[in-house]
Amino acid sequence: MNIDKRKYIALAVALAIHTQVNADDDTNDTPTEYTERVQIIGHDDKLRTEAGAATLIGEVELAKFKFDDINRVLYSVPGVNIREEDGYGLRPNIGFRGSTPERSKKITVMEDGVLIGPAPYSAPAAYYFPMMSKMTALEVFKGPAAIKYGPNTVAGALNMTTRQIPTSQEALIDIAAGSDGYAKTKGYFGTIDGNFGYLVEAVHIEADGFKELDGGGDTGFDKNDVMAKFQYDFSNGQYNQIVELKLSYADEKSDETYLGLTDADFQQNSNRRYVASQDDLMAWDHQQIQFTHFIGNEDFDITTRVYRNDFERSWNKINGFKDGAVVSDLQDILANPESDANAPFYQILTGQRDTEREYEKVILGDNQREYYSQGVQSELYLYQELFDVKHAFNFGFRLHQDQIQRRHTTDVFTMTSGKLVSDGSATLATDTNTEKTTAVSIFFKDTITLGALDLTLGLRGEFIDAEYQNDAPGQADDWQKKETDIWLPSISGFYTLSKNSGLFFGIHEGFIPTSPKEPTSVKIENSINYELGARYHDNNSQLEAVIFYNDLENLKESCSFSTASLCQDNTDGEFNSGEASVTGLELSVKHTYELSADYDLPISLSYTYIKGEFDSDFSSDFSMWGDVKVGDTLPYLPENQLTLDIGLVANNWQVNLITRYTSEMTEASGENVLLSGETTEALTIVDLAASYELGKMGSVYFKLDNLLDDQEIVSRRPYGARPSKPRTAVIGYQYSF
């Protein structure tokens, strides 16, 4: 690893801080349970006094609807913007506070506090995303609350918590079946024997898919996830001390495609799939190993994690047509299928005619990639009283390394009687390169208690060494090394008005690094973010309201197939825009009405208003920008989002109804680019879930996703109009012992 002296100094300072802990001071009675450091926010049963917008969705909330789709879960969190793609959430596109949602690459995604993206620095697009069905909590951090969870701090961070080893023997079996061949089998068993505990959990989910492929065939998926945890408790009278080993394996095969529909075909049958996508297939597998050590008492605690993630994927899909004088790209063909130039290609996509000319041959690309992500990170909480002032110190460091190896190839096919047939030509290598990053990150936070005010000063440092190498034959001289060093300050505070209410504020600098192969002329994404909020909590009611303003020096986007961009041998190449700004309001309200001794009526509402626009004129080749003028709206950013969740809960049954409204979204910001002036449709989705306890016999549950069966165009990317998931019914049974 090529790290200069400044990085070694920073790392040494962080390590020294962790070793110079005064364990004799007894000025703070903060609990130091290991589970509290895994689930970062902690319990949501009292007024939270942390500065910054943070949302916890606990196991009880997740169990109500038993969503497998991360999108459906996050729609209830204010400030989240999503571009749907496949209807099942297999490859989610998630943004916070107006950040581009493409492949969730601008948010920091974690599992159990560890970066979980395939290569968070070198290639942050989240083509792997953890299975929602194994999560017991989700935490969303925005504003200064996210400053410690880099590298991406412009938008925020998402942490997903897997099941912890139980304190006594515990097991569960969950089986379900539903529409479109949906089936789920889930089970776990965990126990503690003395100081040793373990947990084994496995999930299998499959579906035939709701789309109808011309000529027949599956359009669904098959996913598996197996996880094991082993824990030993070394605690004594002086310290709580636990070590844990986590092992997991996951895989997926999905008959998914980037090919959508023309608007006219969507109106005829929104679930149709063209015959040209018959061979499209994503296949991947993911392995994880993580070792965690926790030690602490009432004065301090330290959590150290060593981790390694390996991810390998093969994404075989239609790319377009063979080069020729008349050829158009897929997005243009589907946007203008009746033009003289595009009509023959559209007819081939739909199988109405066979390939006749060389340039009408279909190109299928296999984007094979191998990733790894590994590192060690440690975090200290230290509670001290200095000069009669209480301090809660939080220090952390991470030494991280990740890599992506691209081995992309293409093959040529003809459309013959509704079937793709190889033309016999050799497989052609396209993108063949390696990007690698070594990064040292440190952060410091000091929360000072000054009467009713808790003032937090924060500082994050990112020191990045990046390498790129073109691995194609004869391209050994095509390489690059570069460094990025940056310090990101923050200040935030929470003022307690009463035991039930308070105000908070924050200012922090946001940062998103460039990829290793980009020249220094491509700038990092940088911003100054502001927020002001209020929070209320009593036994039956919760409220949080936040206004925010993100001042972006420039945006950074990348060319990819998922954005329907013609990359011209520069896959994931990056572009800069001019200045931009995002203004918004986030509101979250919860209240439980006690109708009687036997019935409760819980109601929750979340609302988001976001206005994101460019503050300067510029022209760009990026497919979502084009010729931009001041005031043009950021793409895929709904101005209004509203989620209303109403339930009726009795002693042994409950029914919940959740309604989500998302306003239309702009598909491209400027002029003179495909999809200029196009918008998605405003969409209202209603989901229903009910469960009944059978006592010792377990419980049954039933749910209807998209109760009203309302399908609209949720996106015209990657290529063509795409629908939301139709009405889907699922019935299941759970037995725990």
3-state helix, strand, coil in the chain (%, to 5): 10, 55, 35
Examine the pLDDT at 410 and tell me if it is beyond 60: yes
Q: What is the pLDDT of residue 423?
A: 95
Cis amide prior to 718 (ω within 30 degrees):
yes
Read off the pLDDT band of 21 (50, 70, 90).
very low
Residues with Cβ within 8 Å of residue 606, at least 6 apart in sequence: 76, 77, 78, 586, 587, 588, 589, 641, 642, 643
For a pLDDT cut of 90, what percent of the chain falls above it? 84
Beta carbons of 13 and 395 less than 8 angstroms apart: no
Read off the pLDDT band of 554 (50, 70, 90).
confident
Q: What is the pLDDT of residue 565?
A: 62
> Residue 245 belongs to a domain with what CATH number?
2.40.170.20
Q: What is the pLDDT of residue 566?
A: 60
| 200: number of Cβ within 10 Å | 15
Q: What is the pLDDT of residue 37?
A: 67
Give the three-class secondary structure for 101.
Answer: coil
Q: What are the residues facing 492 on neighbouring strands?
A: 456, 506
Q: How far is 367 from 392, CA to CA, in rounded Å?
A: 47
Examine the pLDDT at 17 and tell me if it is beyond 60: no
Q: How far is 656 from 602, CA to CA, in rounded Å?
A: 9
Which residue is associated with the tokens 């396209």?
A: 430
Examine the pLDDT at 406 and tell me if it is beyond 90: yes
Q: What is the pLDDT of residue 40?
A: 66
- For the segment 27-54, what is each residue's pLDDT rounded down to a tens digit? 333 334 676 666 666 555 688 888 889 9
Q: What is the pLDDT of residue 354?
A: 97
Q: How far is 197 from 188, CA to CA, in rounded Å?
A: 14
Examine the pLDDT at 12 and tell me if it is beyond 50: no
Read off the pLDDT band of 573 (50, 70, 90).
confident
Q: How far is 579 from 429, CA to CA, in rounded Å?
A: 38
Question: Quick one: tokens of 385?
Answer: 């009283």
Question: Quick one: tokens of 114?
Answer: 């560890």
Enter the pTM of the model: 0.91
Q: What is the pLDDT of residue 36?
A: 63
Cα-to-chain-centroid distance, residue 266: 28
| 348: number of Cβ within 10 Å | 23
Region class of 677: left (phi > 0), else alpha (psi between -120 and 50), else beta: left
- For the segment 627-660, what is each residue's pLDDT rounded down to a tens digit? 999 999 999 999 999 999 999 999 999 999 999 9
Read off the pLDDT band of 10 (50, 70, 90).
very low
Closest by CA position to 504, among listed 54, 42, 16 = 54
Q: What is the pLDDT of residue 1?
A: 39
Q: What is the pLDDT of residue 79?
A: 96
Examine the pLDDT at 19 and tell me if it is beyond 60: no
Q: What is the pLDDT of residue 8?
A: 35
Examine the pLDDT at 166 and tell me if it is beyond 80: yes
The DSSP bridge pattern shows strands 272-273 and 212-213 to be parallel
Range with the poorest average pLDDT among 220-234, 265-279, 385-399, 568-582: 568-582
Beta carbons of 735 and 701 less than 8 angstroms apart: no
Sheet holding 135-142, edge to edge: 53-57, 135-142, 156-162, 108-111, 114-115
- For the segment 429-455, what is each residue's pLDDT rounded down to a tens digit? 999 999 999 999 999 999 999 999 999
Look up the domain containing 334 and give its range.
Answer: 5-736
Question: Quick one: tokens of 152?
Answer: 């991406």
* Number of domains making up the chain: 1
Question: Quick one: tokens of 249?
Answer: 């394996």
The DSSP bridge pattern shows strands 156-162 and 135-142 to be antiparallel
Examine the pLDDT at 395 and tell me if it is beyond 80: yes
Question: Quick one: tokens of 387?
Answer: 């000069």
Examine the pLDDT at 531 and tell me if it is beyond 80: yes
Read off the pLDDT band of 288 (50, 70, 90).
very high
CA distances from 737 to 164, 167, 170, 394 (A): 16, 14, 6, 39
What is the rounded radius of gyration, in angstroms, for the C-alpha atoms of the chain? 26
Q: How far is 282 from 285, CA to CA, in rounded Å?
A: 10
- DSSP labels, 88-157: S-SS--EEETT---GGGTTSEEEETTEE-SSBTTTB---S----GGGEEEEEEEEGGGGTTS-S--SSEE
Closest by CA position to 369, among listed 558, 567, 131, 126 = 126
Q: What is the pLDDT of residue 7?
A: 39
Residues with Cβ within 8 Å of residue 578, at least 6 apart in sequence: 554, 614, 615, 616, 617, 618, 628
Q: How far is 496 from 246, CA to CA, in rounded Å?
A: 39
For 146, phi and psi rounded to 5 degrees? -100, 0
Q: Which run of H or E residues covers position 331?
A: helix 330-335
Cα-to-chain-centroid distance, residue 609: 21
Q: How far is 45 from 537, CA to CA, in rounded Å?
A: 8
Beta carbons of 134 and 152 less than 8 angstroms apart: no
Q: What one-letter code names the amino acid at 69?
A: D
Q: How far is 519 from 198, CA to CA, in rounded Å?
A: 48
Q: Over range 684-691, report the average pLDDT.
A: 97
Examine the pLDDT at 98 and tell me if it is beyond 70: yes
Q: Over range 457-472, report the average pLDDT.
A: 97
CA distances from 270 to 146, 202, 257 (A): 39, 34, 15
Q: How far is 529 from 583, CA to CA, in rounded Å?
A: 10
Q: What are the residues facing 306 on neighbouring strands?
A: 291, 376
Q: Over range 601-624, report the average pLDDT.
A: 94
